[in-house]
Amino acid sequence: MSPVPAIGTRVGWGFDAHPLDGEPPLIVGGVSISDTIGVSATSDGDVLAHAVTDAVLGACVLADIGEHFPSGDPALAGADSIDLLGQAAVMAVAAGWQIEHVDATVVVEDVRIAPHRAEIRANLARALGIVPDLVSVKATTTDGLGFIGRGEGLAAAVVVTVSALS
């Protein structure tokens, strides 16, 4: 894949979901938010970090998280997803992009994100090389609908804005 020239401003969208059927802890945005539930995943299963990573890669036309960090790679077993996000941010800068803003929503039924919001924002910002004021983290439920509403999983959706480095 040849690099796409870094010109103007771009938007990337990322999404990830995991079942809540693994060993604790539950990691969201690099923060352990529950020590009673966890997800099934190759890495630490951080849905938010995964969605941000995909959004960054997509905005910069650098493929997706699965290409750079394949779930079948045994070297990624238990990997820290915030570290993987940091690697994606380095790839973005190397391709000529500056991350401008992140807007993220975590969708989970019975786990509270709000008490951890500041730490999550700080972790994401640090990995991306930006200030926390440029990272928005929100949470919502599905009001009992679907696999999330039944408490079987969680998801994250993210939009990232990047602009060409001067």
Domain ranges of the chain: 9-164
Q: DSSP for 76-131? A: GTT--HHHHHHHHHHHHHHTTEEEEEEEEEEE-SS---GGGHHHHHHHHHHHHTS-
Q: Is the pTM of this model over 0.85?
A: yes
**pLDDT bracket for residue 74 (50, 70, 90):** very high
pLDDT at 5: 85
| pLDDT, position 4 | 77
Residue 1 has pLDDT above 80, yes or no: no
38, pLDDT greater than 70? yes
Which residue is listed with tokens 């401008």? 100
Per-residue confidence (pLDDT) for residue 3, from 0 to 100: 67
* CATH T-level fold of 9-164: 60s Ribosomal Protein L30; Chain: A; (3.30.1330)
> What value does the mean pLDDT take over residues 72-83?
94
